[in-house]
Amino acid sequence: MKILHGTWIPQTTNEFKNGGGFFLWVETDSLLKGRRKTKQHRHPRQLLSDELQTFFEQKLGVGKNNTNNKPSTQTKYFILPSTPDSPKPSIELARYLEEDFSEALEWKLWEIDCYPLKTVIKSLNDLHFLCQYQSNEIQLGADLLFWYHYSQHLKQIILKDHYIPSLKYRENIISKGKKKRKGLKYIRVLNLLVKLMNS
């Protein structure tokens, strides 16, 4: 069993506009060969870098069409509830494991190999479809399910209103006989809508 997890990780910069990226990782139900020998702060139930890239590109088809700008895996750090020896499995994975996790829990930092998503909304939609209808071995984690529903809600707002409200200050031209005031105006951003729906 493989559980897909993912979240948005912002960049830590001092700029007003703060970028970031969406990253996926995979939690597995078994410790594979060599996992016990890895560093102590590495998550023991994850797909490692090479396996992770192969899994997303060949098994799930994420990033297939993106030949020019092929994403490579990156190491990120997550604070997870843990026993003294290892991180506690997610709720989805705990159903399949026959282990007792009644020990006292504490929060620990774990190093995890992640796969960056370039087209977030489309990829989340595809992953949700694959997990729901085509695969019994892959399941979405609660965190990734949250982001899927968030993206679907955002798409509905954009499709319903046909624009993304954005404030822009502009000076209105004074026409004959009528005096118009300076003010803020909402702009229609249809190009962004088309890009968002196609990505």
Q: What's the rounded mean pLDDT across residues 63-84?
A: 75
Give residue 6's pLDDT band: very low, low, confident or very high (50, 70, 90).
very high
DSSP string, the chain: -EEEEEEEEE---SSSS--EEEEEEEEESS--TTSTTS-TTB-TTB--HHHHHHIIIIIS-TTSS--TT----EEEEEEEEE-SSSBPPPHHHHTT------SPPEEEEEEEEEEEESSHHHHHHHHHHIIIII-SSEEE-HHHHHHHHHHHHHHHHHHHHSS---EEEEPPPPBTTB----EEEE---HHHHHHHHH-
Two structure tokens written together for 186: 């909402």
Residue of higher predicted confidence among 92 and 187: 92
Give residue 183's pLDDT band: very low, low, confident or very high (50, 70, 90).
very low
C-alpha span between 3 and 141 (Å, rounded): 6
Q: What is the pTM of this model?
A: 0.70
The model's pLDDT over 92-101, given as tens digits with 9 standing for 90+, comes to: 888 887 766 6
C-alpha span between 120 and 136 (Å, rounded): 23
Q: 75: closest CA among 52, 104, 103? A: 52
The model's pLDDT over 154-176, given as tens digits with 9 standing for 90+, comes to: 888 878 776 666 656 566 566 66
pLDDT for 16 beyond 80? no
